[in-house]
Structure 1
Amino acid sequence: MTDAPTSSHLMSTKPHSVEPATLPHHPVKRVRRWRLRIRRWWLVPLATVPLAVGVGLRQLSQPVDAIANAPPLPVETVALTPVEDYTVDRQYTGEIVAKRSSALGFEQGGTVVAVLVQEGDRVEAGQPLARLDTRSLEAQHQQIVAQRDQAVATLNELQNGPRQQSIAAAQAAVGDLEQQLALSQTQRDRRVDLYERGAISREELDQQTFGTGALDNRLAQAQSELDELLAGTRPEQIAAQVARVRQLEASLQTVDVDLSKAVMTAPFSGRISDRAVDEGVVVSGGQTVLQLSEGGATEARIGIPAEVADSLSIGSAQRVEVGDSQGERSAQRSFAATVTALLPELESTSRTVTVVLQLETPEDLTLGQTARLVLQDTQPTAGFWLPSTALVQGEQGLWSVYVADRSEDAAARVARQPVEIVHTEGDRVLVQGLVEPGDRVITAGTHRVVPGQVVSIPN
């Protein structure tokens, strides 16, 4: 009972000074009083905690009640439709090239006297482009023409045979020699008779005999010439002369070819992309003078993976985009194309297969432009397509959507369902998650709704 006054004194809100005379002189009692005073002071803040919690819960319940009691908020929704797969556009890059591009030069060397085109000029097939100096070739041409004419005249003479005058002259020569031979034989016979009688010497007889033999040989030669004239020209001589004429004609054709090659012509229609030399330059055979790229036949050469190339076939229709991918979309152009070739070897650096596509272009494209082949790859993945505005970002990078669960005729309650983004395509996404076909997902204004809120879905 002696502690009661002390306890009531400690419960006072104002501290009082303690007189030393009033404190008990026993040390244990003094410690007990101080411990009791400290415990009672701690009871004051502990008593205020339940009061604060109650006030906070009351304040937190007011917005929830306000949302629940608020009129239904009209929202835009979309009904989920399941899909079993989706397509991905994969782009492969290459460049625009001419179907044919030639570095034009002269087959033989010479001095360039004229270059008839400029860079960028359009030319047609067969159009002259440049010329070489041909004066030496023209002189050689004239010389061979003269030799050919001479050989042709000789051939005509051989084919026509000897003239009648030549035959008559040969016949006269044979007749004259026959008479001379007959006279010489008569004189020889007389010389033999005189020698036998000793009237002449042996030497005189030998002279007459030798003269007769010489006349006989001359007669045989003249007769042979006459027979040759009467028989005409031998076939071998005619054949040899014909070969000579043909040889000269071939030489003439060679010079004509060289003259024609001294004029450079366009092998196909196209555009001059480079002019390497000007007039007065001495060029060697095969040296590049002009670069010609075919016009109206544009190709795209694009490298694609080998496994993708297996899905393409020769003659299949494709789409090729041409233009700078870093620029505006309007600057890019799309053209229909046809696969014309799949090169059989992998490109050494990129390890890709080169596909050649013939572009159906109404105009010439700038060579070297970037070309992109767009191929669609189908992925067998089930899910639902949603506009990207329907996504609600959650914690730790997770995503969810608001589903309007219709419970009344025109009102529905919002529920939050987690989803996983499978694929993004422009302004829409393919998702999987705790949603089902037919669920109505809020697609706009997701920042205005919360789970549990009542919303209305316009018909």
Structure 2
Amino acid sequence: MVSPASDPVANFRSIAKRFDRRWFWLLPLLAGAVLIAPKIISKPAAETSAPVEVLPVQTQILDPASEYQVERTYTGEITARRSSELGFEQAGTLVKVLVEEGDTVAAGDPIARLDTRSLQTQRQQLEAQRRQALARAQELQRGPRQEDIAAAAAAVQDLQAQVDLARLQQQRRENLYAQGAISQEERDEKAFNASALENRLSQAQSQLDELKAGTRVEQVNAQDAEVDQIDASLSSVDVSLSKSTIYAPFDGRVSQRLIDEGTVVGAGQAVVRLVEGEALEARIGVPANQADAIAPGSPQTVEVNGQFFSATVTALLPELDETSQTVTVVLALPAEAQPTIGATARLILQDQQSETGYWLPTTALVAGDRGLWSAYVLTEPEEPAADGHRVARREVEVLYTEGDRAFVRGLLQPGEEVVTSGTHRIVPGQLVQNQN
């Protein structure tokens, strides 16, 4: 007898019976799959693809402009309207400096002094000479006294008597000489004495006549001139005394003290530096082509240390700065502006540029190759009922930027809508939806 395990036919039949019972329920599913497979395969590919993404964006309608203003800034410094390095007009020893650095002084206040002892002595001598000359002038103006006239007349009479006696003696000597009683020397001696007395008499008579006639005008004038000369010398000394003190020429502040007491200073040597503290101005270099548009008296905006002031143009210097080749514009700051002297000042000018273009926010600009820029504009919808727009790329040139906007020109048309947000997610042909 053969066992079932050793009979192959019996084994196959047993396996077939088990398969039929286990997989019989799958037969209807397999049949259904065979029937619907052709329909699935025959559907269009579009029905199986993912839906197209429509990006929401913000836009701006292009409005052309025929010009734009460029803000230009030029740099200079704050200066005092007046500043001076003060010194003496004459040499001398500095004995006193009356101010310190930072002190405020008013016009006319003394600042420093020289030693004036020698000048004071010279003045005293001149005063004594003046008193003497003035007394002589007064005497001449009053004329001679009667006592002087009487004394002069007495002197003339005395000399006349002496002359008469001398002539008589001379005559006697002539007779004696003719008789040979005396020598020629004795005769000549008496003749000489008579002649000398006659000269003295003539001089005394002239003095008497002068006294009787009174003082001559020329003498009075000469003495007056001597008094005037002494007065001029006194005035010169007084000028030297006044120049021995430095006085403030204007209201201001002492910015530097350059020399101390005890120094022998030369004429013109600076002792202190004084700057006018109230009236400040800005001196700013501007290119010549820009300076032509600046009129004296016009208001301009000046920025100093973050503060903005309305300054007034007081002058445009006629010569170009040799270093910068610019025109120096001088602007007076308002009284309330008190920046530090030497601080940096900036002049802000608006330069009008005539150019047709469009103002766009910088978010609308897309960087391109080789430094070029572009913007995206909306095109007309493909279908009237479509919810979105395709975007097209337009090349633009950036002419000027101001804060968060730029002035551009390029292949843009008035009335077009430019995408202003989300440009980093957009490519040409992208479908977008305007969210304005």
TM-score class, shorter? 0.7 to 0.9
User: Distance between the aligned counterparts of 1:438 and 1:134, measured in 2?
Assistant: 88
**Which residue does 2:407 correspond to in 1?**
430
**Which residue does 2:358 correspond to in 1?**
384
Q: 2:51 aligns with which of 56, 63, 77?
A: 63
Q: 1:353 aligns with which of 310, 320, 326?
A: 326
User: Distance between the aligned counterparts of 1:193 and 1:144, measured in 2?
Assistant: 61
**Which residue does 2:260 correspond to in 1?**
278
**Which residue does 2:418 correspond to in 1?**
441
**Which residue does 2:19 correspond to in 1?**
none
For the residue of structure 2 that corresponds to 1:145, the secondary structure is helix
After TM superposition, give the deviation of residue 274 of structure 1 in Å. 0.8
Change (3 A) 1:412 1:121: farther
User: Distance between the aligned counterparts of 1:109 and 1:58, measured in 2?
Assistant: 109
**1:210-249 pair list within 5 angstroms:** 213-249=195-231
User: Distance between the aligned counterparts of 2:88 and 2:369, measured in 1?
Assistant: 75
**1:39-188 pair list within 5 angstroms:** 61-64=49-52, 67=54, 76-181=58-163
User: Distance between the aligned counterparts of 1:288 and 1:90, measured in 2?
Assistant: 40
After TM superposition, give the deviation of residue 427 of structure 1 in Å. 0.7
After TM superposition, give the deviation of residue 266 of structure 1 in Å. 1.1
1:255-307 Cα shifts (integer Å, max 9, x gaps)? 11111111111122222111112223332222221111222332333233333
After TM superposition, give the deviation of residue 171 of structure 1 in Å. 1.7
User: Distance between the aligned counterparts of 1:213 and 1:433, measured in 2?
Assistant: 129
Contact 1:388 1:427 in 2 (8 A): yes
TM-score by length of 2: 0.76
After TM superposition, give the deviation of residue 448 of structure 1 in Å. 7.4
- Give the CA RMSD over aligned residues: 3.7
Contact 1:119 1:272 in 2 (8 A): yes
The one-letter amino acid of 1:430's match is F
Contact 1:337 1:358 in 2 (8 A): yes
Contact 1:159 1:233 in 2 (8 A): yes
Q: Does 1:455 align with 2:428?
A: no
1:381-416 Cα shifts (integer Å, max 9, x gaps)? 211111122334567754222437589799663533
Contact 2:78 2:283 in 1 (8 A): yes
For the residue of structure 2 that corresponds to 1:84, the secondary structure is strand
User: Distance between the aligned counterparts of 1:84 and 1:388, measured in 2?
Assistant: 20
Q: 2:241 aligns with which of 259, 277, 294?
A: 259
User: Distance between the aligned counterparts of 2:223 and 2:351, measured in 1?
Assistant: 77
Change (3 A) 1:410 1:372: farther
**1:178-217 pair list within 5 angstroms:** 178-181=160-163, 191=172, 213-217=195-199
**Which residue does 2:318 correspond to in 1?**
343
User: Distance between the aligned counterparts of 1:230 and 1:415, measured in 2?
Assistant: 131
After TM superposition, give the deviation of residue 380 of structure 1 in Å. 2.6
The one-letter amino acid of 1:227's match is D
User: Distance between the aligned counterparts of 2:149 and 2:156, measured in 1?
Assistant: 11
Change (3 A) 1:289 1:346: closer
The one-letter amino acid of 1:370's match is T
The one-letter amino acid of 2:376's match is V
Q: 1:416 aligns with which of 360, 371, 392?
A: 392
Uncovered stretches (5+) of structure 1, i.e. residues with no partner: 1-50, 324-330
Q: Does 1:366 align with 2:348?
A: no
For the residue of structure 2 that corresponds to 1:380, the secondary structure is strand
Change (3 A) 1:453 1:228: same
User: Distance between the aligned counterparts of 1:408 and 1:456, measured in 2?
Assistant: 15
After TM superposition, give the deviation of residue 241 of structure 1 in Å. 2.3
After TM superposition, give the deviation of residue 420 of structure 1 in Å. 0.9
After TM superposition, give the deviation of residue 426 of structure 1 in Å. 1.1
Change (3 A) 1:166 1:411: farther
Contact 2:177 2:187 in 1 (8 A): no
1:334-380 Cα shifts (integer Å, max 9, x gaps)? 34230502332441x33x12313122232433222112222333333
**Which residue does 2:18 correspond to in 1?**
none
Q: Which moved more, 1:282-291 or 1:122-131?
A: 282-291
User: Distance between the aligned counterparts of 1:306 and 1:279, measured in 2?
Assistant: 48
The one-letter amino acid of 2:326's match is V
Contact 1:343 1:353 in 2 (8 A): no
Contact 2:119 2:240 in 1 (8 A): yes
For the residue of structure 1 that corresponds to 2:203, the secondary structure is helix
Uncovered stretches (5+) of structure 2, i.e. residues with no partner: 1-39
The one-letter amino acid of 2:328's match is V
The one-letter amino acid of 1:357's match is V
After TM superposition, give the deviation of residue 182 of structure 1 in Å. 5.1
Change (3 A) 1:185 1:317: same
1:40-98 Cα shifts (integer Å, max 9, x gaps)? xxxxxxxxxxx99x998766x4231x64xxxx95x544322111222212222222222
Q: Which moved more, 1:404-413 or 1:449-458?
A: 404-413
For the residue of structure 1 that corresponds to 2:351, the secondary structure is strand
For the residue of structure 1 that corresponds to 2:396, the secondary structure is strand
